[in-house]
Amino acid sequence: MKCFFCQYGSEPSFKDLDNLTKFLSARKKIVNRERSHLCAKHQRKLQKEIKYARFLGLLPYVSYQGIK
């Protein structure tokens, strides 16, 4: 099975928030490779891009909204 980014021929980008949020858990943690089903290359890129988006304030580091 191809990974999400290989399948659509795209690369993870800090600007592409819709696709980055797909790989965040309910508490906005980055999901691991077992759950994301990404290849090593794209998981590595995704981590960097999510961390950069967090640095810019585009994504939260942690969230407790909607969780009791």
> Which residues lie near Zn ion (CB under 5 A)?
3, 5-6, 39, 42
Q: How far apart are CA 11 and CA 27, in angstroms?
A: 24
CB of 12 to Zn ion, least distance (A): 9
Tell me the closest approach of the beta carbon of residue 7 to Zn ion, in angstroms. Answer: 8
CB 54 within 8 A of CB 21: no
* Alpha carbon 49 to chain centroid, angstroms: 8
Compare residues 42 and 49 and give the one whose CB is closer to Zn ion.
42
Place of tokens 């949020």: 21
Nearer residue to Zn ion within complex by CB, 3 or 63: 3
